[in-house]
Structure 1
Amino acid sequence: MLKAKTIKRMVIICLIVAILITVKVIWVVSATIGHGSLEGERKEIVHRANYLTSMVCTTPQDLLNEMPSGIGEQFQGEWALYTCSMTSAALANIAILYPQNKELSIKFIGQIIDIAMSEEIREYDRLRWREDPMDGIYGNLSHISYYSHLAWMISRYKQIGGDNKYDGQYHTLCRSMNRRILESPIMNLPTYPGESIYIPDMLVAIVALNNYASQYNGEYSSTVKLWVERAKKDWIDKETGLLASFLVHNGNSAEIEPPVKGSYSALNCYYLSLVDPDFAKEQYECLKKNFRQSFPFAGLKEYHDHTCLFGMDIDAGPIIFNISPSGTGFVIGAATSLEDMEFRNKLLKTAEICGSTVTCFGKSHYLLANVALVGEAIILAMRTSAPQTRM
């Protein structure tokens, strides 16, 4: 009798699991219908933009409150700035892909720039440098994280037809970044005092300067070209062939600091695709060779040289079966920009499996956006980064 009850329980549990799996499969299939072309994804992309703007275009403090409190004040500020940066990138991409959305994109990017320039958002950088970044614009402290993202946002605003409202800040930011980069013997600046140099943070500055050069008769293009040349020559990891994730300033030289991470390398590839597509393509192939994973679903590993079935990383997020959530999200940008649509579609399916899209009243978002809004902004920026959005 006891054995029969046990078998019955097991059958019920198996049926429940089977039903849940079936529901999830139907959910994923229905949510990914139309994936494969940016035209086919238009409705979903616009719905996601509607959600993001409703969440991001608020007060600076309300945006900060959307960031998880458990990560601390510094990372809350970083994530809020990154949410602004990636939402702006997504809206600019959408304005180019679907021109009828241009005026709305200009309006919302302007609001987001105002939020990013607020004292509340600048606070994370001020705390670490003990100087407000805007007070130190003519000084010598780095502030490269804050300056670069703000300049990149303004460059995209202008790219899609925004007015000259932010021209003063744009000129000053790019002039300041260019000066600091050229004054550095290694052409790289630390995000925070006493820490390693984070190459993805530097690449935002290079992208912003490259955009500025395209808008102002090539000014600062020589700095961009020199930085990329140095990257190809001096900052490539010999084992993977990938651009370093971290550098250590050692006198007048920079040494590569291990490890090379999947999340950082994917972001490097994305930013490089906006500056030097040929170099980006080479890096992308190295990235897939060292970090691509197909089982149990398509994605990018965080570590190429060892297994991490379960772990937690402040940059990568919760690592499950080796998969890096951030790395998988960022590589969608490189795949889109470099027109690797087959891999892109597999990655978007993974995003759906893990994120689970909900749609209501013309707004769509992953359920995980309730925990990490920045992830929603990143995915939308990455999946809309078509080749024609390069400047």
Structure 2
Amino acid sequence: MTVIELITSIRQHKKASLAILVLALLLGKIASVPFGMYGVGTFEGERNDILRRRNYLIGKLATTPQKIMEEMPGGMDEQFQGEWAMYSCSMFAVALTNIARIYPEQKEVSLGYVDKLIEIVMSSKIREYDRKRWWGEDALASLEGDHSHVSYLSILAWMMGEYKELGGGNKYDELYSRICYTLNRRMLDAETLNLPTYPDEPIYVPDMLVAVVALSHYAKLNHGSCQDTVNRWIEKAKTDWLDAKTGLLVSFLDNTGAQQIGDMPVKGSYSALNCYYLSLIDKSFAKEQYERLKHYFYQSSPISGLKEYHDRFFLFGMDADAGPIIANLSPSGTAFMVGSATYFGDFDVRRMYFVIE
């Protein structure tokens, strides 16, 4: 046996072992679901389960910027760790607001932790990833300037909107308005209403949707201010930025924000995230996009979940945004799809949550 044949044989054995390990983990998880679901289904059981999950995330995220960064995947560079930390904080802030809606007695608790999460996202440690990508320019120190910083500013504005919705005081009012007016101005100054997340990169449509969500939320809290920009972006999305094959919002636009990049695929994780954001802005458009997502990306067997790609197959892979892709399934895409399935009352899809949780 040659050295090349030996190496090939070792790699094949490693792949087979990994496949067996992953399959064993999946089967073990499926088998454990009935035990883990004991008590869930009653009002009290659901409440206890939600609060248990909240408390777990409080321990992971309502800490310090340094500890949050340490929780992020170690194999990623600082940029992606910063992004994941920021998105984790923002999604948890929204979850805390939703918990307060369902259980009003939790409002003060939610408000306190949303305030804590905003302070963490505003820390120099978390926003460092964005500063480095914008040639050392700090997003909050350059609101009068023209560089985008769209992802960081949108996330922060969205979180401040959640704080206000929970009944927070005027602690962030001035900065909240400045950020939203900055985003609004920069979008209107762009020919296509789209802004780059980073210099010389494509437009990432989910990042732009966060900006639209942030402005839409601000409009609801401030007598319609910035709503016209939201309406204009959504109308252009419906006519100019739909994938010809699937009818879904494209995942990437060229760096002018005008058109889809020919060789860039529509990603399941991005599309599921787009559906979630759209449900906060335009319910009918979100429902249409959800049905298309389900048609092209949802897989019910042998394992339920959302595929990362509808027209190709990956046994194992790692994506900086989607996370680990296992048998072409996207964990993050599946989680976001479950949110839309719940929102639209699609309980057949919703049930897959109990397998992937």
Deviation at 1:32, TM superposition (A): 2.7
Counterpart for residue 102 of structure 2: 97
Q: Is 2:251 the counterpart of 1:226?
A: no
For structure 1, list consecutive stretches of 5 or more residues without a partner in the other structure.
1-18, 353-391
Counterpart for residue 154 of structure 1: 160
For structure 2, list consecutive stretches of 5 or more residues without a partner in the other structure.
1-23
Percent identity, aligned pairs only? 55
| Residue type at the aligned position of 1:222 | D
Question: In 1, are the aligned partners of 2:297 and 2:307 still within 8 Å (CA)?
Answer: yes
| Residue type at the aligned position of 1:160 | L
Counterpart for residue 137 of structure 1: 143
Distance of 1:295 and 1:33 partners within structure 2: 25
Match 1:210 to one of 192, 206, 216: 216
Q: Is 2:118 the counterpart of 1:107?
A: no
Counterpart for residue 169 of structure 2: 163
Question: In 1, are the aligned partners of 2:314 and 2:325 still within 8 Å (CA)?
Answer: yes
| Residue type at the aligned position of 1:325 | P
Question: In 2, are the aligned partners of 1:85 and 1:153 still within 8 Å (CA)?
Answer: yes
Secondary structure of 1:133 counterpart: coil
Q: Is 2:238 the counterpart of 1:238?
A: no
Counterpart for residue 331 of structure 1: 337
Distance of 1:20 and 1:305 partners within structure 2: 26
Q: Is 2:108 the counterpart of 1:117?
A: no
Match 2:46 to one of 41, 46, 49: 41
Match 2:186 to one of 180, 203, 220: 180
Distance of 1:147 and 1:38 partners within structure 2: 37
Question: In 1, are the aligned partners of 2:314 and 2:327 still within 8 Å (CA)?
Answer: yes
Question: In 2, are the aligned partners of 1:200 and 1:264 still within 8 Å (CA)?
Answer: yes
Distance of 2:348 and 2:43 partners within structure 1: 13
Counterpart for residue 325 of structure 2: 319
Counterpart for residue 282 of structure 2: 276
Distance of 1:22 and 1:136 partners within structure 2: 51
Deviation at 1:23, TM superposition (A): 6.3
Counterpart for residue 69 of structure 1: 74
Q: List per-residue Cα deviations over 1:169-216 (Å, max 9, x = no partner).
A: 110110000000111001110111111100001111111111111111
| CA 331–35 in structure 1, closer or farther in 2 if over 3 Å, else same | farther
Deviation at 1:36, TM superposition (A): 6.0
| Residue type at the aligned position of 2:142 | G
Distance of 2:212 and 2:25 partners within structure 1: 46
Secondary structure of 1:303 counterpart: coil
Deviation at 1:21, TM superposition (A): 8.8
Secondary structure of 2:254 counterpart: strand
Deviation at 1:20, TM superposition (A): 8.9
Distance of 1:129 and 1:200 partners within structure 2: 19
| Residue type at the aligned position of 1:186 | T
Deviation at 1:31, TM superposition (A): 1.6
Counterpart for residue 20 of structure 2: none
Distance of 2:25 and 2:126 partners within structure 1: 41
| Residue type at the aligned position of 1:311 | G
Return the structure number with greater relative CO, CA threshold 8 A, min gap 6.
1
Q: List per-residue Cα deviations over 1:218-255 (Å, max 9, x = no partner).
A: 111111111000000100001001001000034xx611
Distance of 1:176 and 1:35 partners within structure 2: 45
Question: In 1, are the aligned partners of 2:200 and 2:255 still within 8 Å (CA)?
Answer: no
Distance of 2:265 and 2:31 partners within structure 1: 39
Distance of 1:22 and 1:149 partners within structure 2: 37
Name the TM-score, length of structure 2 as normaliser.
Answer: 0.89
Question: In 2, are the aligned partners of 1:316 and 1:325 still within 8 Å (CA)?
Answer: yes
Counterpart for residue 57 of structure 2: 52
Q: Structure 1 stretch 160-169 or stretch 226-235: which is displaced more? A: 160-169
Deviation at 1:138, TM superposition (A): 1.1
Q: Structure 1 stretch 143-152 or stretch 293-302: which is displaced more? A: 293-302
Deviation at 1:119, TM superposition (A): 0.6
Question: In 2, are the aligned partners of 1:209 and 1:224 still within 8 Å (CA)?
Answer: yes
Distance of 1:256 and 1:336 partners within structure 2: 30
Secondary structure of 2:78 counterpart: helix
Distance of 1:136 and 1:63 partners within structure 2: 25
Counterpart for residue 293 of structure 1: 299
Question: In 1, are the aligned partners of 2:33 and 2:355 still within 8 Å (CA)?
Answer: no
Secondary structure of 1:319 counterpart: strand
Distance of 1:151 and 1:329 partners within structure 2: 24
| Residue type at the aligned position of 1:30 | F
Question: In 1, are the aligned partners of 2:323 and 2:331 still within 8 Å (CA)?
Answer: yes
| CA 265–34 in structure 1, closer or farther in 2 if over 3 Å, else same | farther
Deviation at 1:291, TM superposition (A): 0.3
| CA 35–196 in structure 1, closer or farther in 2 if over 3 Å, else same | farther
Distance of 1:196 and 1:156 partners within structure 2: 29
Q: List per-residue Cα deviations over 1:323-362 (Å, max 9, x = no partner).
A: 111111111121122222231122x12323xxxxxxxxxx
